[in-house]
Structure 1
Amino acid sequence: MLKTSVVCFLASYGVAFACEVSQLKRRSTLSRIVSFLFTVAGFVAHTLYLLYRSRQADLPPLLSSAHDWYLVLAWLAVLVHLFVSAVDSELATGLVAWPVILALVVASWFVTDQPGHRLDYDRGWKMLHASTLMLGTVFILLGFVLSLLYLWQHRRLKQRQTSNDSVKLPNLELIERLNRFAILVAVPFQMVGIISGFGLGVFATGGGIPMTWTDPVVIGGIFTGLLVGVLFVWLLIQKRSPGRQIALRTAWACGFLLVTLIGLQMLTAATKWHSIHGSAPTPSANATRGLAP
């Protein structure tokens, strides 16, 4: 087994992003190839790290800790980016996707890496909670990135900058359809994840972490869930709305949700408040996090 760490694949992703940024000045086939290769290398190291963490904790990554949960979210985002790159390597979607992915990897360093679940109780419900919440968050993340792409492309068209051959983006109609689809799919998954999480906190048969209604993560989850739910209803009742209006509301709602989820988890770890996702990390855990034998 190769030695892998968070720093290893974070550096690979950073180089891939730098290559994407270099495309803004001049399109280069070599830069695209280097970016793709570093993305693949980082993705492999990322995968090995998650596998090691899973074996170390004897838990699936979705249940082992908040640290691993964020890294799984980043892993899925990289997987989507690799798929898009394989379909059309000239699309400049990485300029929007990479900052979000890098932020998730960096944020994972500041949340607990200690297991917060025991699978000898309510295993099925815990997997339902973790998997649906993850899927919902992935589609929300996708909606956020698509909204930013739409606003960027809309501005370029308005200012007649599309003649710049160094940047190629999908057409507005395609982005709008994908954006609407991402939100309409995300909200049901998110609601199931939140409801099942409340059920675990209230009706856990044993061995679980008790839920407190004053927990900042619980409060943030309720508020942001309601916010995205309102966006979901608005999309359903709007038969025809300007694409830019949809993109703006989606970007604000999804961006706020992601910042809230990450910020509250970091706040919980920093202040050692007890969270339904696990206990606060210890200094020794922070000193050794990210290293695999």
Structure 2
Amino acid sequence: MIQFLSGISVTCFVTSYLVALVLELTRTWFEIPVRRIVILGFTVVGLVLQLAYLILRAQPDGTTEAGLMATWYDWSLLLSWGLAACYLFFLLRRPETTVGSFLLPPVLALIALAIYVQDSPPFSREEATGIWRNVHAMAMLLGSLAVLLGFLAGVMYLVQSSRLKQKRAGRGRVRLPNLEGLQHLNRRCLYFSTIALACGLFSGVLMNLNRWGSVGWTERGVIFSGILLLWLVAATLFEIFYRPSRRGRKVAYLTFASFVFLVLAFAAVLTSPHGRGLPDEAPSSADTSISLNWKGTR
């Protein structure tokens, strides 16, 4: 399997994106019955191949002191993958739109930029650790903020819904946004928190690989953060594909559950070595038992 994946090249996912772009651009010229399915298929294939390519590039081999995923080539490919993932989201959310005509050309342009800067010198492991630590901290902060904001929007939604049923909305000094606006805010917070926390966990893995050459998968903080992300992904997919969840109180309840998972994750992080900022010499023995080891000297 690894040998098969090692054969993936930039050409593979570029071709997938190009086919999807051509199909998007020819929407107004002629009609193909299965066009949307084909576009979706090539987009997913391109994303999977590009992700596999990036993961293989992030595998430590101990032959260099350069940082993992710490070149302008890697950053350009990561940015292009993120933009392609956004296109997939819009494709699933609004399949009738033609946003691919606007999103896919920048994706291909970023890949071309990556090829252009491929020979740029990489950051050292120390520099890479600092970069990914900053990305990790900012992404987790923004993701947690989005979960909290979604929770508060859900509370306001339920309060405003109750006031409307009792015909008290707009009376007195308490004036809340309308239900439609609160529902949209809830939904946006759910989407944003999922993306931000995914970026936070991904950057955290790369930070630890650059720092120690391993990831403490068994730490409470890591486990509960992973559970929080899995819940957010499931809630987001549920909201996208199950249309009744977009109306009424269902989105508010989803953000309530997300807030509960966030509190549990924070409690786990703050009571683990990860949250207490232990020295960076090496991960605990429990962590190294199932970690990705960096071969070679440290």
TM bucket, shorter chain: 0.3 to 0.5
Higher relative contact order (CA 8 A, sep 6+): 1
Larger Rg: 2
Length-normalised TM-score, structure 2: 0.47
